[in-house]
Amino acid sequence: MPKSRSTHFSRRGLIAAGGALGLVAALTACGGSDAAKGDGGKDKGAAASGPWSFKDDLGKDVTAKSTPKNIVAFTGTAAALHDYGIHVKGVFGPTKTADGKADVQAGSMDISKVEILGNVWGEFNVEKYAALQPDLLVTNTWDGTLWYVPEESKDKITGLAPAAAISVGGDATLDKALARTADLAKSLGADMNAKTTVDAKARFEAAAAKVREATKANPGIKVLVGSGSPDLFYASTPKTSADLKYFESLGVEFAIPEKLDEGGFFESLSWENAGKYKADVILLDNRTGTLQPNDLKAKPTWAELPAVKANQVIPRVTEPIYSYEKCAQILEDLAKSIQSAKKVS
C-alpha cells in the first residue's frame, strides 16, 4: 500500500499506489531489545555504548559497533521513532507537500529539521545520504524489499550503512508492527517506561476495545477500503495489510474484492463500475497523490455510492505511523465511525 498512483506501474510502484503487500512475517527482536534492560530490570532503553544489534523482519542480524546515532529512515518510520523520542538525521518518502507543509506521513516531526533525501517514489539522493555519515537506515517492508529504497541504487545505499526493516505486510498485523517498531526504538535508546509511551499504549488498547464494542453494538456494517485515481477506483482486500487484518480481528466486516490484480492487493475498477461492491462505510486512502472526497465530487458514480450519499466516508491512514499514539487515534476514529454508521447498502 505504497506510493502515488501517478507514476509508472512497476510491480512495487503499483503496490505503492494503494495496494497492500508483504510476504514476510514479523519476527521476534533480539540483541538491543534485551540489552536495553538494566537497573534491576527497569527498561531505560539501549546502553549508551558498546555493540548494538537488532534482528529485523527480513531475518537479518543488523549490527553496529555502538548504538546508531546518525539514523536515516523512511518518513513514516521516522515519524514513529520520533514519537518515542528517537530523532533521525534524514528521511526519504512523502515528507513535504507541494505547498511546503508536512505530509500526513511525517506525523509530529518538524520536517525543517531533517534532510529530505527524496520526497516521491523513486527519489533518493545517495550523495546527500553519504554526507550524513549514516550509522543506520530504517524502513518498512511489504514484500521483503526495503520500502521506498530504489532498486537501482539499493546496493549503493545499503553499502553505506546497515539497514533494518519492519514488516507491515504479509503475516504482520497492526499490533505486531507496533510491537516491532517499539522494539527497534527501545534498542536505539527509547525509554519505554516514559509516561507518554505507557499512556499511549494504554490508549491504544482501550481504543481496540472500543472497536470491538462498536462492531458488536452495530453488527452487519460493511466497510469498503478504496483509493481513487483519475481513471480508476481501487478496492483493496483486507488480507494483505497489517492495519486491515487487525481491524478484521476486532470484528470489522469488509467488502472483499473478488478479482484482485497481480500480487493480490486490490481490484482495479473503472469509475463506471465503482459501485460493484456494496458498502455502508468507505475507508478512503488519505495519502498525498490520491483523490480525496472534494476531488471525487466530479465523478458521478462516486456521488451515487450509498456510503457517499450517507456521508459515511472516512479517511484511511493507508500507511500508518507505527507508534501507539498515532494508531490509537486511528482506532478511536474507526470505532466512532462504525458505532454511528447506518446500514445503507
Q: How many CB atoms lie within 10 A of CB 220?
A: 10
Looking up cell 504482520 gives 172
Alpha-carbon gap, residue 174 to 177, rounded angstroms: 5
Q: Tell me what pLDDT residue 303 has.
A: 95
3-state secondary structure the chain: CCCCCCCCCCHHHHHHCCCCCCCCCCCCCCCHHHHCEECCCEECCCCCCCCEEEECCCCCEEEECCCCCCEEEEHHHHHHHHHCCCCCCEEECCCECCCCCECHHHCCCCHHHCEEEECCCCCCCHHHHHHCCCCEEEEEECCCCCCCCCHHHHHHHHHHCCEEEEECECCCCHHHHHHHHHHHHHHCCCCCCCHHHHHHHHHHHHHHHHHHHHHHHCCCCEEEEEEECCCEEEEECCCCEHHHHHHHHCCCEECCCCCCCCCCCEEEEEHHHCCCCCCCEEEEECCCCCECHHHHCCCHHHHCCHHHHCCCEEEECCCCCCCHHHHHHHHHHHHHHHHHCCCCC
Q: Are 313 and 337 in contact (CB under 8 A)?
A: no
- Can you read off the three cell numbers belonging to residue 273? 463500475
**Choice between 34 and 197, residue whose per-residue pLDDT is larger:** 197
Q: Tell me what pLDDT residue 49 has.
A: 63
Pick from 179, 173, 177, 250: nearest CA to 210: 250
Q: In which band, very low, low, confident or very high, does the pLDDT at 197 lie, cut at 50, 70 and 90?
A: very high
Share of residues in the chain with pLDDT > 90 (%):
81
Q: What is the pTM of this model?
A: 0.85
Q: What is the mean pLDDT of the chain?
A: 88
Interval 203-230 mean pLDDT: 97
Q: Tell me what pLDDT residue 4 has.
A: 36
For residue 32, pLDDT beyond 90: no
